[in-house]
Every structure is written in C-alpha cells, then in structure tokens.
Amino acid sequence: MATAMDPESYTTTKFTLNNGTTIPGVGFGTYRIRCGDVIMKVVDEALAAGYRMFDTAAVYHNEGHLKKAFQTLLPKYGLEREEIFITTKLSPSDHGSLEVVRKAYKHSLDNLGLDYVDLYLIHFPGTAKLACDDKRNIDIRNMTWASLVDLYDNGLVNAIGVSNFTVKHLQQLLRSNHGVIPAVNQVEWHPFYHQQELLDYCKENDILLQAYCSLGGTSANNDSLLKHPLVTKIANKLEVTNAQVLLRWALQQDIAVIPKSTDPRHIKDNIALNFTIPNEDMRILSDLGSHKIKYAWDPSVVV
C-alpha cells in the first residue's frame, strides 16, 4: 500500500457544514484537466500529498476519468469511498424540474462510478440559453434548488449548495423558503477579487464560502496575482511560496480552497499550509482587492 505524506506537514483543517457533515479545508480542483492519463497522475500525487477532497463538474468533462482514478487509486492508498469528499456541479443547461435535475445527477454519478456525491452544487445562477437579464432565471433557479432539495431529502446526496451566487441570488433563494439552506457557496475569491458583504452574508447564514481561482485561475494571464511584489514580499518573510500565501490568506478567513495543479511540486506545496499570516500582512493582501481583477465568469450580471 502506498504511504501518504506525514500529516504534520499538510493542513488537516476541516470545516463543518450547516448539516453537520465536514469538508476538508483544502481540496483539489480539476478544471481543464481533461486527459485520462493526467487525471490518474495528479489524483495519485494529490492522494499521496494528503488531499481528500476533489472538485469537478459536469461541464469539466472529466468525471469519467476521475472514476477510473478513484477505482485504481483508493485501494492503492487503503482508502474507503467514505474517506474522500467529492463535489460535482449541475450544468446550467440542466436547470429546472426534478426530472431534469435527477437525470443530470444520475448521469454524473454514473460517470463518476459513485452511489452519491458528498456535495452537489448549482454551478451558476444563470440558466443556459437565457439572457442574463431574463427574469425567468429567478423562477428556474428556485425550481432547480427545489429539485436539489428533493435529492437531499431523499438521501441521494450528502450536502447541496450553490456556486457563483451573489448576495442577491442567495437572498432570493432563502426568501423562497425551500427548507434547506445551501451548505456551500463556491465563488471566485482571491486578493484581487473578494467581497466582504458576501462573506458576511454567508457567515450569518451558516453557508461555507469555498474559493476558486485562489491563484489567479488557469488562464495564461494569472501571473499578475501570483507574482505580485507584495505577495512575494510576504512569502519571502514567512519562508513559504507565493501560492501558499494566497491559499492561506483564504483559509484564515474561514474560506475553503480548491487549488488546481498538474505539477507534483505545486500539488504538495498547495496543501502544506501549516503557518500563519500575521494580521498586518492579511490586511495588505486584502487591500490588493482595490484592483478588482476578475478571472472567471461574472454572476453579478444575472438577475
């Protein structure tokens, strides 16, 4: 059996969701990793490094590769299915009735080779093929959430949540009173793009924020964040890497992270976050937000 990294060297931070289940503070993002061989290699590296949470989505088109990786690698590390946390997301083209959502969820489960996922998210507040300002988005979003609640109430999924929801979208959802509050809101969150109002709203309503694009995303122009001189200065002072500073900055705000990497060194570094950023440096990093550089799609335009 393969051995994992010494737990002392990586963070074992976990967050408790509003339904009592726990989620690792650091997970592994898989956006744009589509090749089966690469998925096998990075999941192997990730499990060895201590990751126990994996983030995918129907639209990433890699659920099938993850199935093979889990089937091969969980036995290699002596891990049971229950010891890893898997998130997938409902595509914007599958919003709506229970029938449509059930079918999409079953499709993801079949692709992943699983009986359940730990967390199922509405990927985006807007519905495919509807204009962002089309008011039907609101009703369809509510119906979609009701469908997820049905999956949850019937014990088909361990937790449900949303992604890319703004305060307005969350308020609309909570007002419609479906009896279940999203456990997680997965959003773009890094020193160039973060909103205190959203964090406060989520904390008040016991919704865990999970950050994506913590390192500037997978786009080619992500270096402005990773190589920012102030990030470098803090990293040098703390004797860690720039990426570790960016990830730890989120964790210290009680925000979970899901960095993506195909580089074995980066995969190890991104979970080795057992250090503390002093308050004054946390403030310096948060103040970089005045630039408001956004790397991913913008949900604020969706009604």
Segment contacting ligand NDP by CB under 6 A, of 29-37, 70-78, 131-139, 145-153: 29-37
Nearest residue by C-beta to ligand NDP? 29
d(CA 272, CA 137) in angstroms, rounded, equals 41
Selected from 30, 91, 147, 158, the binder of ligand NDP by CB under 6 A is 30
* Residue 54: both structure tokens together: 């994996």
Smallest distance from ligand NDP to CB 77, Å: 21
Of the candidates 117, 46, 42, 47, the residue with the CA atom closest to the CA atom of residue 87: 117
What lies within 8 Å, CB to CB, of 235 at 6+ separation is 241, 242, 244, 245
Smallest distance from ligand NDP to CB 258, Å: 5
Q: How many CB atoms lie within 10 A of CB 240?
A: 19
Which residue is catalytic, options 10, 51, 60, 212?
60
Binders of ligand NDP among 176-205, rule CB under 6 A?
186
d(CA 12, CA 174) in angstroms, rounded, equals 31
Q: Is 60 among the residues known to form the active site?
A: yes
Segment contacting ligand NDP by CB under 6 A, of 97-105, 125-133, 134-142, 255-263: 255-263
Neighbouring-strand partners of residue 86 = 54
Q: Say if residues 240 and 277 touch (Cβ distance below 8 Å).
A: no
Q: Which is nearer to ligand NDP, 208 or 215 (CB)?
A: 215
Size of interface with ligand NDP, in residues (CB under 6 A)? 29
Q: Say if residues 191 and 246 touch (Cβ distance below 8 Å).
A: yes
Q: How many CB atoms lie within 10 A of CB 136?
A: 11
Binders of ligand NDP among 107-136, rule CB under 6 A?
123
Q: Which is nearer to ligand NDP, 90 or 280 (CB)?
A: 90
Selected from 39, 214, 231, 277, the binder of ligand NDP by CB under 6 A is 214
d(CA 205, CA 61) in angstroms, rounded, equals 32
Q: Which is nearer to ligand NDP, 31 or 201 (CB)?
A: 31
Please count the CA atoms within 13 angstroms of the CA of 183 that sit on its side-chain side: 22
Binders of ligand NDP among 39-68, rule CB under 6 A?
55
Segment contacting ligand NDP by CB under 6 A, of 65-73, 127-135, 174-182, 265-273: 265-273
Q: Which is nearer to ligand NDP, 177 or 253 (CB)?
A: 253
d(CA 80, CA 216) in angstroms, rounded, equals 33
Selected from 104, 250, 258, 285, the binder of ligand NDP by CB under 6 A is 258
Residue 86 near ligand NDP by CB under 6 A: no
Nearest 5°: CA angle at 270, between 237 and 53? 150
Q: Say if residues 251 and 25 touch (Cβ distance below 8 Å).
A: yes
Element (H, E) at 54: strand 53-55
Q: Which is nearer to ligand NDP, 32 or 135 (CB)?
A: 32
Q: Which is nearer to ligand NDP, 75 or 148 (CB)?
A: 148
Q: How many CB atoms lie within 10 A of CB 233?
A: 14
Selected from 5, 98, 181, 226, the binder of ligand NDP by CB under 6 A is 226
**Which residues would be at the binding site for ligand NDP (CB under 6 A)?**
29-31, 55, 123, 163-164, 186, 212-218, 222, 226, 241, 243, 258-263, 266, 269-270, 296
Could you give the residue numbers annotated as active site?
A: 60
